[in-house]
Structure 1
Amino acid sequence: MGDFYQKMLQNDAGRKILKSVGLPTPVDLNRHQGQAVFFKGDLLIGSVEGSQMLEPSLQSLSHAEAKVMLPANGKTASSIIKHCENFGINPLQIQCEKGAVSETFDALVFDATGLQNTKELKHLYAFFSPVMRNIKHNGRIIIFGRPHMASSSGEQAAAMRALEGFSRSLSKEIGKKGATSQVIYVDKGAEHLAKPAFEFFLSAKSAYVNGQAITVAKPGPAKNKVELPVIDWRLPLEGKTALVTGGSRGIGEAIAETLARDGAKVFVLDIAATQEDLELVANQIGGEAIVADITAKETPQLIADAVAETGLDIIVHNAGVTRDKMLANMPEHFWDMTLSINLTAEEEINDHLLENNVINEDGRIICVSSMNGIAGQVGQSNYAASKAGVIGYVEFMAKPLAKKNITINAVAPGFIETAMTDAIPFMTREVGRRMNSLSQGGKPVDVAETIAFFASPESKGISGNVLRVCGQCLIGA
């Protein structure tokens, strides 16, 4: 899609003009290009006493190409070294004193799961402050914590919730470098289940996800330890069957392509008016096309019949419409159409597929919400209501679906470069692109990569989450 601003950055005169008026110069984001490992680079790791995410983090890093460093003056240095030795990692100890750090870092990882009270938040300052200037372009920050509502005291809950505000602020400080910061909250007993979130956030697949928090929990009623499957990083969905609604173009097309790239057999569904494009997408990815209107009464059974041989491992509810008007001027059919397609159809399809056991054991349901469902938008009361409804549905359904070992999550895209956004008036479009910490629009593949993360067989402990794919939009929660 056309980005006038980016074109100006490609020549000296354009850069001078933008600099003279104080406008940001966005960094080119590194995106996944088939890398064999999830992370390659220099990583600094730290923790507080009593934390429990060092072992699983270093176990993941033992399969990456990471040069692991730690502060030599840290109180937990000996513990970090011991865990490194267990996984054959030879860490480099460095002096991390303010103004005296010569090394630069592709990632900073801090385990704060051991925090007990708000006084101990000083550990965040001690670890991060000396090295914030040393983060490279496209760098990553990951902070581990415990869900604050599972804390043993109000003081501990405050400390854990503080991690989110801290991380979101770091995101805004480093966004000009194309770098990101995230928090992973991990329930006790689910430490090993944080692996897919840790690897996704460290990887280039999360390029446009910034300032987010995700919760990892022990799934289902099982009392025994839930084991993660062994998967190939390059083909994590091999042998899986997926359905993508609204798959003929734009974000839906990117989702279908990404799931197929990761090894899934993909069914793409869209309305008859898009049949030519739909079949082209299906042919390109070795999938199958389903021509249907998701609001039609017969569509849930049509889907069930199409996947009868294998069942569904993954369903992505991407189809959606906008019918914008100020509420005072909105025709009733604008309201009805938007809510029916964007929300009610998803519920009815899920109900039918679940009742008829079409969604397989350990299945994945992923819904596409929107930043406007979080923040609202003028003239989009119908659309915002539908997308906020998606969030409520996902959060509520996580618990009952856990009994069937099925996860459900949502993504909330921000400004994503598509044919739809390319048609927005020039000034509105340029402002929309810049109103995030990364100062640029995202790409359809950014949404697709996040959906593929939720769809992974490893994402057993990740359910009821809503991840914003918006570069940390400056509007909204």
Structure 2
Amino acid sequence: MTDTYLELVNTGAPAKLAKKLGLPKPVRLRRTDPASVDTPLTTGPVLVLSDAASTTEADAVAGDLLGWDLDVRRDTRLGEHDRWGAVIVVLTGLGHPNDLSEPALALGSVLRRLAKGARVVTISRTVDRAEPAVAAARNGVDGFLRSVAKELRAGATGNGLVLADGVGVSAPSVRGGLRYLLSARSAFVDGQLITVGTDGGSEPADWSRPLVGSVAVVTGAARGIGAEVARVMARDGARVVGVDVPAAGESLSAVMNDVGGTALQLDVTRDDAAQRILDVVRARYGHLDIVVHNAGILRDKLLANMTPDKFEGLLAVNIAAPLRMNETFAAPGALGGDGAAPRIVSLASTSGIAGNRGQTNYATAKAGIIGMTRALAGQVADAGGTANAVAPGFIETDMTASIPPVPRQIARWGSSLQQGGHPVDVAEAIAFLASPQAGGINGQTLRVCGQMMVGQ
């Protein structure tokens, strides 16, 4: 669905009027083309800053960026007409909150020179088992980064990578996470911190097609986010099997024909759904590596008006089905083949994090997805796999198109980016978490919400 307001305020006279009236002026975000892999990684030179104790690790990060043919600088000097495409702030050596002052102010001095769609990325360490002063400094990065993200303009975003102690800045998942956050693939990810818990993962032979050799199943693939997940995964090299109910068979076939995939008409609430999926995929491709639990329904009602069929029916599709299927998919040897590590990615929601009026059933199910993901992470890690979730915020889909115009526009303005996301934004996050370079990221829920002003 088109955001008419966004289009208007980025053209001629309406743009001038919006500025005069002090109205929000969201910009068109820098996104990838789902059919192309040639989108530049950044829009300009990259500045690498650090605290005093992190110089060595900052040098290593700068070296990695140079290996990607980026223009990397270590000081804030810039040509008169140039703009920073990204600023990376390495804060792995913080020992006290005071240590954050110098790099924070250095970042502040260049914010007015950011290019449209620029990226700010912090790299810090987890609080786990740190002594109080160190823990205070490390946790301070969280509040600092989220606040910076809310100050950015012109489609720029701020996100962070949080490394467990012992994980090097050049570990595959750190490099992979950094590349994702710098790229146009993360257009609607803002104010988020991704924890890299291990040195696990591996770098793809081709960064633009990291899923080559993998086989992925996407449930609810006939339309909306599921269809876009199928397209992005196929673009990234995966062979895709799309699953949806028989009633959506025509749409499902069209999507799978478009991506050269396989359509499987199946109700995921069936007790044998997972085994049927495995049997079909193994017969056709020999192995299954990636499962994306996307299938879901909405049955919105205030709790006072909620009926058993609306509450229990939604739970059956949105959480009970993934739980039952994972009993099969997470079993030893079920997923993975030809060197690919198992990946399970599930669709949560910001409603499951912060709640939402009229969505007690939906928020219950999506919070359940987050809990399921955390519990599943250890189980699949034993096989070298990962389980993660993606929590979309307001995304422009057929479902959100049914919201009345005024509430819909207010919902768009509720994010730091002052607009709704697109299905491709969610798909890009899922494809990243399913990739080999995300192997050190496990049990996480990544919000794709433009930093909505709710929850975390």
| Coarse TM-score class (shorter-chain normalised) | over 0.9
Q: Does 1:143 find its partner at 2:122?
A: yes
Q: Distance in 1 between matches of 2:191 and 2:201?
A: 29
Asked if 1:111 is matched to 2:90, the reply is yes
The SS at the match of 2:85 is strand
- Secondary structure of 2:44's partner? strand
Task: Give the aligned partner of residue 367 of structure 1.
Answer: 346
Q: What displacement does 1:229 show?
A: 3.8
Q: Does 1:295 align with 2:269?
A: yes
Aligned position for 2:298: 322
The CA deviation string for residues 425-453 of structure 1, in whole angstroms up to 9 with x for no partner, is 11011111111111111110000001111
Q: 1:16-415 maps to which residues of 2 (within 5 A)? A: 16-33=16-33, 34-35=37-38, 38-39=41-42, 41-51=44-54, 53-71=57-75, 94-95=76-77, 104-151=83-130, 153-174=131-152, 176-191=153-168, 192-193=171-172, 194-218=174-198, 226=200, 228-309=202-283, 310-355=286-331, 357-360=333-336, 362-415=341-394
Amino acid at match of 1:42: P
Secondary structure at the counterpart of residue 151 of structure 2: helix
Q: Tell me how far 1:40 sits from its aligned partner.
A: 5.3
Deviation at 1:41, TM superposition (A): 2.2
CA shift, 1:246, in A, is 0.3
1:103 deviates by 5.1
Aligned to 1:468: 447
**CA-CA distance at 1:121 after TM superposition:** 1.8
Q: What letter is aligned with 2:74?
A: L
Cα deviation for residue 401 of structure 1 reads 1.9
Q: Counterpart of 2:390 in structure 1: which amino acid?
A: V
Q: Per the alignment, in what secondary structure is the counterpart of residue 199 of structure 1?
A: helix
> What SS is found at the alignment partner of 1:445?
helix
Distance 1:262 1:269 in 2: 19
Cα shift readout 1:70-102 (whole Å, capped 9, x = no counterpart): 12xxxxxxxxxxxxxxxxxxxxxx559xxx988
CA contact (8 A) 1:190 1:461 kept: no
Q: Which amino acid aligns with 1:314?
A: I
AA partner of residue 212 (structure 1): Q
The 1:356–1:170 alpha-carbon spacing in structure 2 relative to 1, beyond 3 Å, is closer
The secondary structure found in structure 2 opposite 1:30 is: coil
Closer/same/farther in 2, CA of residues 236 and 37 from structure 1, 3 Å limit:
farther
Q: CA offsets, 1:372-397, max 9 Å, x none?
A: 11111111100001001111111222
- The change in CA–CA distance for 1:411 and 1:343 in structure 2 (over 3 A counts) is same
Instruction: Give the TM-score of the pair, scaled to structure 2.
Output: 0.93
Farther off after superposition, 55-64 or 240-249: 55-64
Q: CA 1:354/1:394 → structure 2, altered by over 3 Å: closer, same or farther?
A: closer
CA contact (8 A) 1:182 1:212 kept: yes
SS at match of 1:148: coil
1:38 partner amino acid: L
> 1:82 maps to which residue?
none
**Counterparts of 1:114 and 1:355 in 2: how far apart (Å)?**
40
After superposition, give the CA deviation of every residue in 1:258-281 in whole Å (9 maximum; x if it has no partner).
Answer: 000000000000001100000111
Q: State the number of aligned residues.
A: 444
Q: Give 1:49's aligned amino acid.
A: A
Secondary structure of 1:181's partner?
strand
Quick one: distance in 2 between partners of 1:315 and 1:342?
A: 15
Matching residue's letter, 1:23:
L
Q: How far is 1:293 from its partner? A: 0.7
Q: 1:36 and 1:431, CA in 2 relative to 1: closer, same or farther beyond 3 A?
A: closer
Shift of 1:230: 3.8
> AA paired with 1:161?
N
- State the distance in 1 between where 2:6 and 2:43 align: 27
CA distance in 1, matches of 2:110, 2:80: 7
Tell me the secondary structure at the aligned position of residue 110 of structure 2.
helix
**Residues of 2 paired with 1:247 and 1:312: CA distance?**
17
For residues 323 and 278 of structure 1, the distance between their equivalents in structure 2, rounded to whole angstroms, comes to 22
- How far apart, CA to CA, are the structure 1 residues paired with 2:393 and 2:204? 33
Normalization by structure 1: what TM-score?
0.89
Equivalent residues of 2:88, 2:122 under 8 A apart? yes
- Relative to structure 1, is the Cα distance of residues 128 and 337 closer, same or farther in structure 2, using a 3 angstrom cutoff? same
Which sections of structure 2, spanning at least 5 residues, go unmatched?
Answer: none
Does 1:451 find its partner at 2:430?
yes
Cα RMSD, aligned residues only: 1.9
SS in 2 for 1:65: coil
State the Cα deviation string for residues 130-186 of structure 1 (Å, max 9, x = none). Answer: 1121111101001111101242x1111111111111111111111x21000111111
After superposing on structure 2, the runs of 4+ consecutive aligned residues of structure 1 that deviate more than 6 Å are none
Structure 1: segments with no counterpart, 5+ residues = 72-93, 220-225
